[in-house]
Structure 1
């Protein structure tokens, strides 16, 4: 495996675990504010991000590479309203998309076609993640100031259930 691709994937594992921490902190914010549906949504997001780290981990092991785990940074965001975590999530998903794109670019440069194919799932996943985050921001902007509508949105997010990502389910 190309050294640069290897290093970027190792860094991505850390980034995915940080994302799990970050989303758990969002869940805590909403739980403390009485929006348990939003808390549920972000706890599931946290689980998905952890799973993404595991998918990258498995990829390294499947390619005979050793994992190099590093410390996971503490989330540094605090919020005073309901919109803040949603906007931060959208910004964060765009950042993660850029990280995935960087790995893909390195794989292209190294002509690592196996890695490019592997990353296709993440590219699709990031498109979905950004769309979901954007939709949550839009819904909060449209309906968040109305107590009944906010209650309905919270119930909608309470209904979200966790599902194992296909790369782990098929592993």
Structure 2
């Protein structure tokens, strides 16, 4: 059974939003790289990879359900930063926005009792909870420990240790 047009279209739009998230997080990584904070840059470079994974999951789902995705233009991120906390705060704000988008996708599927799509989106709902928690934790850690060179060095080393783990096939 083919997907409902409204659900297909909102999921297709979400692909674009996930790719925009990757662009946005690349600008965060570039900001931190330029500042010499390689750990923070690493964190956001991995976020870029995860956002692309999310877009691929949605694309595959649409293709598997007889809908040909349309790749749209990706907006250019317009954020600029004057201190090291601002990208972290912008990251939390963006994750909260993405959560609202996922909720909109879920609501569209729920409205027509598309349980298969709701099941896919359950993973995204859980993922967004984790993303918001990570963003809040990074802000809190920075506010507590990042005000001294030693504390910032320690946090940067912590984020340098993060490694990319491809999204599991459970979500695909």
Name the TM-score class by shorter chain: over 0.9
Q: Which residue of 2 aligns with 1:119?
A: 121
Name the structure 2 match of 1:17: 19
In 1, the alpha carbon distance for the partners of 2:135 and 2:4 equals: 33
Runs of 4+ in 1 over 3 A off after TM superposition: none
Where 1:166 maps in the other structure, the secondary structure is coil
Name the structure 2 match of 1:107.
109
Aligned: 1:96 with 2:95: no
Normalised to the residue count of structure 1, the TM-score between the two structures is 0.97
Aligned residues: 170
| 8 Å contact from structure 2 (residues 85, 142) kept in 1 | yes
CA distance in structure 2 between the partners assigned to 1:92 and 1:56 by the alignment: 19
Tell me the distance in 2 between the aligned counterparts of 1:41 and 1:10: 27
Question: Match for residue 132 of structure 2?
Answer: 130
> TM-score, normalised to structure 2's length?
0.97
For residue 53 of structure 2, what is the aligned residue in structure 1?
A: 51
Instruction: Give 1:60's match in structure 2, choosing from 56, 59, 62.
Output: 62
Q: Which runs of 5+ in 2 are unaligned?
A: none
Aligned to 1:150: 152
Q: Post-superposition shift, 1:2? A: 1.3
Residues 73-132 of structure 1, C-alpha deviation per residue, up to 9 Å, x if partnerless? 000000010000000000000000000000000101011000000101101100000000
CA distance in 2, matches of 1:53, 1:68: 12
